[in-house]
Structure 1
Amino acid sequence: MADHYEVLGVSRDASTDEIKKAYRRLARQLHPDVNPGDDAAEKFKLVTHAYDVLSDDDSRRRYDMGGGDGAAGNFGGFGGFGDIFETFFGAGQGGGRAARPRSRRERGQDALVRVTLDLGDVVFGAHRDIEVDTAVLCETCNGSCCQEGTSPVTCDICGGSGHVQRQVRSLLGNVVTSQPCGTCEGYGTTIPYPCGTCGGQGRVRSRRTVSLDIPAGVETGLRLQLPGSGEVGKAGGPHGDLYVEVTVNPHPSFSRDGDDLLATLEVSMPDAVLGTETTIQGLDGEVELEIRSGVQSGDVLTIKGRGITPLRGTQRGDLRVGVQVVTPTKLDSAQRALIEDFAKKTKAPGPQLAQFQQGLFSKLRDRFRSH
């Protein structure tokens, strides 16, 4: 049996593209319509069979390993000359399978809307009614695209196939090409009496309201997907999806760190020295804080369970309040005398360097600046 590589005139390390080019060149030379000799027909069979073996990675590997042709009969697995040319020159040539008409019903496009929330909405979630300007089903024709009492009719040009064929005489014989019918646009039917409301589209533009429950824990940039809430497709096709992109407004007093809320509490020097109790207004109501005597700037007061409900879960984060002790900058003579007397009695050491450490409050402050 002849070597397949020699039959095609390529080297054993030839690429798939080189093998294909060699076959197409030989097929044009040896095709019976061009070269009617008996010898040419036999060579054409050999060339076709060699191509079928070498064009498939698995059969080529088996052939290179001495495992035989690795391909079925009937000219290398092809159904005949018609199938060969359908493979290389497109569907519809040489008696290929006829193309089907395309459906008028199409899936609608997805829609994107944006919603803005306050940080307080993120704690427990929120409900919003969103106005969406999109395509909805035409109520006049109910998606049929036709006037009442009429229906689509079979295209008299393509006979309902949606495609028309054209036969061209070439060196390889009669080549048949197929293309979408220009009369029915490939649908196989025409609409002689389109709906006057939608113009034969089966849908119209309209503004509608979508109710949305936004879960707790969302953050800026998150997109929520509402399947089937996008625009309706042509001719009453299925709806696309609606995506809601969330933006969370910054808060003047609170910042977010994961599921925790961060805040800064300014404490006067006397309250820092003596300790006190205070009430602050949280995002979900009042919060009682106890400030111990001797609290320092950078200390953090943690209130469990007063942060944000996570997007997936029920256990709320914490509220973390960083303390900033405020040193008075304006003192009258009496106040200054009291401070000087206090300093003499406490005999506090003068300013001095201490071992450096990155305090937690500094970390919180850096986070505040980044939000």
Structure 2
Amino acid sequence: MTDHYEVLGVARDASPDEIKKAYRRLARQLHPDVNPGDDAAERFKLVTHAYDVLSDPDQRARYDMGGDGGGLGGAGFGGFGDIFETFFGGGGARAGRPRSRRERGQDALVKVSLELGDVVFGVHRDIEVDTAVGCETCEGSCCQPGTAPVTCDICHGSGHVQRQVRSLLGNVVTSQPCSVCQGYGTTIPYPCATCQGQGRVRSRRTVSLDIPAGVETGLRLQLPGSGEVGPAGGPNGDLYIEISVAPHDAFSREGDDLLATLEVSMPDAILGTTTTITSLDGPVDLEIRPGVQAGDVLTIKGRGITPLRGSQRGDLRVGVHVVTPTRLDAKERALIEEFARRTKAPSPRLSEFHQGLFAKLRDRFRH
């Protein structure tokens, strides 16, 4: 088995940087464009394979423990992987364009908690976002100011290197990304010290956001181009705002309507009255008609939530809960007994099943 360290001319404890320098030195000497000889082509193949193994920490560890490090298939033949790579989409003699360092940034997600009152009309928020932003030092070039990327002297800017190997089908030319420039076609001799050659840095920034009325828990608002800036000053991703609406003590939501429960004393339920309740956008008068029943729903038009798409507000629906007194003094009890004798109310009994009553009770106590 070929000794990869011997091929590169480095010690077995060589650092990754030493291995890379040794490969670049040998590649310049043996590259087919520089040295067209058959011996040079074979050595270039061995040198490149040795570098592929030793530059990968996992492969190098396996090789150092006695593994073959992904050998070249013995007897100088490219494996079936080379053949299939050539004839079924692996590159072949025609290399693609070099990779661009500029890539689209990732999308970002921020969760925002709102009160139910914020949902009625919408609300403005300034939110803090921790994302990648463009590096001001290099302005996305990834290089120290005054310097620039240089053309890779191994692939000559193509981003790919070609190899000629013998196979069962004869000599086959394969193309693979250049391991020196990582397929970019250029290298950066002097990376920007601020962003470490990435063209972007992490930073906190403030995003002003107008949250529309009618949003609900789980809804995501999309702000195109407000996410992370891409590597090398690439275009920004999108920013998503995930809404969470906190529960309210007195009101709950059903569609665009607001639901509430109003406790009414027994005398007010019998005689009727007018009261003022505090809605989410101010006080509102509510008339309780005489003889209102427990479970009845009183509707106040236009005091609900403004819909997400539209302008017609929902309603405020108030479920009546008649409070029966549990403690009576002697005089109060006597009055109630006199009232019962006068009204001659029937004894409790089963009545016709009333689906609507159960629906009201279920809705009222569910919220």
TM-score of the superposition, structure 2-length normalised? 0.75
Give 3-state SS (helix, strand or coil) of 1:359's partner: helix
C-alpha deviation, 1:177, in angstroms? 1.2
Which of 197, 209, 212 lines up with 1:212 in the alignment?
209
Distance 1:204 1:365, change over 3 A: farther
Q: Encode CA deviations 1:264-291: one digit per residue, 9 max, x unaligned.
A: 0010000001110101111110011000
C-alpha deviation, 1:134, in angstroms? 0.4
Give 3-state SS (helix, strand or coil) of 1:140's partner: coil
Give 3-state SS (helix, strand or coil) of 2:165's partner: strand
Paired residues of 2:302 and 2:314 also in contact (CA < 8 A):
yes
Q: CA RMSD in A?
A: 1.6
Give 3-state SS (helix, strand or coil) of 2:267's partner: helix
C-alpha deviation, 1:222, in angstroms? 0.4
Corresponding letter in the other structure for 2:103: E
Which of 95, 98, 101 lines up with 1:101 in the alignment?
98
Q: Does 1:190 align with 2:220?
A: no
Q: 1:310: which partner in 2?
A: 307
Corresponding letter in the other structure for 1:356: F
Q: 1:173: which partner in 2?
A: 170
Q: Distance in 1 between matches of 2:90 and 2:115?
A: 58
Structure 2: state its 5+ residue gaps: 1-82
Q: Distance in 2 between matches of 1:163 and 1:128?
A: 49
Paired residues of 2:86 and 2:173 also in contact (CA < 8 A):
no
Q: Does 1:289 align with 2:304?
A: no
Q: Distance in 2 between matches of 1:327 and 1:92?
A: 84
C-alpha deviation, 1:347, in angstroms? 1.4
Q: 1:129: which partner in 2?
A: 126
Q: Distance in 2 between matches of 1:341 and 1:369?
A: 33
Q: 2:28: which partner in 1?
A: none
C-alpha deviation, 1:340, in angstroms? 0.6
Q: 2:197: which partner in 1?
A: 200
Q: 2:354: which partner in 1?
A: 357
Paired residues of 1:92 and 1:176 also in contact (CA < 8 A):
no
Which of 359, 363, 366 lines up with 1:367 in the alignment?
363
C-alpha deviation, 1:89, in angstroms? 4.0
Q: Encode CA deviations 1:147-169: one digit per residue, 9 max, x unaligned.
A: 11111000000000001111101
Q: Distance in 1 between matches of 2:360 and 2:144?
A: 67
C-alpha deviation, 1:331, in angstroms? 0.6
Give 3-state SS (helix, strand or coil) of 2:259's partner: strand
Q: 1:80: which partner in 2?
A: none
C-alpha deviation, 1:358, in angstroms? 2.2
Which of 219, 222, 226 lines up with 1:229 in the alignment?
226
Q: 2:139: which partner in 1?
A: 142
Structure 1 residues 243-262: aligned runs within 5 Å = 243-262=240-259
Q: Encode CA deviations 1:224-266: one digit per residue, 9 max, x unaligned.
A: 0000000000000000000010000111111111000000001
Paired residues of 2:295 and 2:361 also in contact (CA < 8 A):
no
Give 3-state SS (helix, strand or coil) of 1:246's partner: strand
C-alpha deviation, 1:348, in angstroms? 1.6
Corresponding letter in the other structure for 2:363: R
Corresponding letter in the other structure for 1:366: R
Q: 2:155: which partner in 1?
A: 158
Corresponding letter in the other structure for 2:324: T
Paired residues of 2:105 and 2:235 also in contact (CA < 8 A):
yes
Runs (4+) of structure 1 moved beyond 2 Å? Answer: 84-93, 362-371
Give 3-state SS (helix, strand or coil) of 2:306's partner: coil
Which of 275, 278, 294 lines up with 2:275 in the alignment?
278
Distance 1:232 1:172, change over 3 A: same
Q: 1:78: which partner in 2?
A: none
Give 3-state SS (helix, strand or coil) of 1:187's partner: coil
Q: Distance in 2 between matches of 1:85 and 1:331?
A: 94
Q: Does 1:88 align with 2:87?
A: yes
Distance 1:135 1:319, change over 3 A: same
Paired residues of 2:260 and 2:317 also in contact (CA < 8 A):
yes
C-alpha deviation, 1:90, in angstroms? 3.6
C-alpha deviation, 1:176, in angstroms? 1.1
Paired residues of 2:270 and 2:291 also in contact (CA < 8 A):
yes
TM-score of the superposition, structure 1-length normalised? 0.74
